[in-house]
Amino acid sequence: MGNPAEIINYVGRQSIFGNCEHMKKPDRLYEPHLAIREFPVLRGAEWLPRLSLSGWSLIQVRSGTGYWLQAQSPSRELEAGMVLLVADHVQGSIRASQLGDLSLYSFNVIPARLSGLITLGEQDFLKTAARGKNSPFKFSRRSTLLP
């Protein structure tokens, strides 16, 4: 063990925390919060929103045409500029039209991660609204977003 490379390798494995080779990160997925991501959906393919626990997903159709599909509900046509607000428990998918690709922007909002920005009362309101029967899912056309 006189070789410097062997010494560095040995010292690197030994530490005050024990053998580092056995330390592993937990198998949890980190979900970015308030990070806008783009999702391309090929023609005829489906995209399932990854909805956060106790939160909302805001999805905007950037380009193309597609459909919101949800069990026991009529499908809704989606076109460029439309925005969907979906609560975490809503089960549905977005399918791109057979005629062309679809591009989506999406970000998740988890009210519990917004402490300091919104009050506890507002957090409770958003959690209650997500669980409610009347508002777990909303559509908005581009023309209704801005005056």
Q: What pLDDT is stored for residue 137 in this prediction?
A: 59
In a domain, 16, yes or no: no
Q: What pLDDT is stored for residue 38 in this prediction?
A: 92
How many structural domains are present in the chain? Answer: 1
In a domain, 2, yes or no: no
In a domain, 3, yes or no: no
Q: What pLDDT is stored for residue 39 in this prediction?
A: 93
Q: What is each CA distance from 120 to 32, 65, 90, 144, in whole angstroms?
A: 22, 38, 24, 29
CATH number of the domain enclosing 28: 2.60.120.10
Q: What are 68-77's pLDDT values in tens digits?
A: 998 888 888 9
In a domain, 5, yes or no: no
Tell me which long-range contacts 126-135 makes (C-beta under 8 A, separation of at least 24).
126/56, 127/54, 129/87, 130/54, 130/55, 130/56, 130/87, 130/88, 130/89, 131/87, 131/89, 135/87
CB-based burial label for 99 (10 Å; 0-12, 13-18, 19+): exposed
Q: Which range of residues forms the domain containing residue 47?
A: 24-145
Q: How far apart are CA 62 and CA 116, in angstroms?
A: 31
In a domain, 12, yes or no: no
In a domain, 133, yes or no: yes
In a domain, 4, yes or no: no
Instruction: Tell me which amino acid residue 79 is.
Output: E
> Average pLDDT, stretch 79-106?
90
Q: What are 38-67's pLDDT values in tens digits?
A: 999 999 999 988 766 667 888 999 999 999
In a domain, 6, yes or no: no
Residue predicted with more confidence, 112 or 61: 61
